[in-house]
Structure 1
Amino acid sequence: MAGDSKKVQPIIIKRIKKGGHAAHGGAWKIAYADFVTAMMAFFLLMWLLGSTTEGDKKGIADYFNSPLKVAMFGGSGSGDSSSVIKGGGTDLSNTSGQVKRGQVEAPKRTFNLQALKAMREQQAQAEAARLKVLKEKVEEVIANDSRLAQYKSQIRLDLTAEGLRIQIVDNQNRPMFDSGNADVKGYIQDILRAIGGVLREVPNKLTIEGHTDSKPFSSGDRGYSNWELSADRANASRRELIAGGLPGDKVLRVQGLAASMLYEKDAPESPLNRRISIIVMNREAEDRVFKAAEAEATASAPEDAENIPAMAPQ
């Protein structure tokens, strides 16, 4: 037994083989690169939003709300999206009060009331000078015409707020019309036709007014009165002006004013109150007439629309 214990025991050596990790490959690198790219894009987006003006943000919002509309017609802030600098411009250190290159010319196209007012004043001055020359030309025609020179005292020319006014007044010994009649006398025909020839080349529109004295008709205002008579005389004068060469489309208004605007207020029945007024209207007076006509047409449009009978469905 003792000998057996002295037997050499076998030495068992355990060799532990360390196993290696499995190969992971390069997939983690791709994921990491995607993460870094996403983070960079996120911070770039935050920077862009922080440096974008309110107009740009509104334009971007409009685009995503209705992209087709903004693409075709534009929208609020849609033209500022090319600038990432706050306030626009090219200076990164300045975040406010900058102007982009494309906006430099914008103030020149701004509606300038002062410039428009100055332009209208210049036009009014030029037109007044032109009417003054016309006045001198009419006076020259009357002075050089032997038939008209003798009636010079009955022709009054003056410049008013409406333009050049040419008045042909009556005379006790030389009336323009017979009493209560609208037939033009022969010498008045000569005057009106001569004036029509001069005004033929003037671009301005005309107003022709008939005036009478305050002496009423026996029938009163209910029958044929000074209102109808003054209108008939103004229209008869229009025909003579056209016979003298004046184009018919130059006459803007023909009106009878009866005795509402007396030439001699202290003498209502004076022959000077019986007159024909030809007004070469300036542009301002023309505009007032056209605007009044437009306003009247606009005011009467709803009433006309209500009077249209409804059509029954078929």
Structure 2
Amino acid sequence: MILYSTDQVFLPLVCISIASMVEHCRGNRPPVTVLLHDVDETARKGASSFLEELGLQLDLVDVDGSWCQPWAKARGQSPAKFGFLRMHELLQRPVGRVVVVDADTRFMDDVNKLLAHPLDGCAVAAVNDMAVVAEGRVPDLCAKLGIPQSPGYFNSGLLVIDLEKWLHANTGQAAIDVFTQRSEILTFNDQCALNAVLAGNFRQLPIRWNALQGTHRADWPVSMHHFAGHFKPWKMGLCRRLPSVEKIMGAPNIDFYRAACRSARSHNLDPAGNQLLETISAGLLLGKMSVNGRLRQHTLRSSSSLLTSFASQHPHLME
């Protein structure tokens, strides 16, 4: 089972991510469930039309996000961000393993490899957050969460979950409890909550399965791009072709999303928004980041010596 949780804003991106997943499937296409939070009927029909063309076993599940609305709103987050924490109540077909995926992703490899990947008795497998590694933040984040620095701090943009073990350990509810009882330890929302709950008890996946834009080096293999952060290849307007921006996002990804957005618009789904407004907004963002040094820092992140050190210490994760 492949699982996404989304609101109306990110629904077009979910559809594009699923299409990229289907494109690279070499065996049976796994069933897909999309948890829908505050999605109107027009968008729902558009997504259904888009996804039905892919020949999937598909469940679109409407979710009432009021259960987490107070603390999600307090953190400036959509309830959709946390829907997967209660997935066992929402899935409409029996499954043993679930791959939870963020909307801002593009698959480049067969997701069936993840469904067959050994978890070595763990409830969760995930990829170390290489942006956190590159910026040298692992020690501070782990200390704040009260967890060991080894095997490290993972990114929650892709999670492989053994649902039986997840339920047995009450992992989802434990993460929710972190929000309601220990929110002061959180820096990155559900990602920090899960790191706190699992406390290092997760199976490390090769970093190719969560290649963070701006951090993942060009000579490293990629099985899934993850466009976390400010730079999104479907947005940025005309600024996406600036050399500094194109270097971070990659010209092939920009071209892919340009074509994918056209396809989505034919189903009344538009992830890109108004190009003029996007260009203005991106220009202001880039100006601010240039002044405060964040743009240069972001551009140079993939050359961090800390990434080189991580790669040399964990060669099995670089394959």
Normalised to the residue count of structure 1, the TM-score between the two structures is 0.20
State the structure with bigger RCO (CA 8 A, min sep 6), 1 or 2.
2
Normalised to the residue count of structure 2, the TM-score between the two structures is 0.20
Bigger radius of gyration among the two? 1
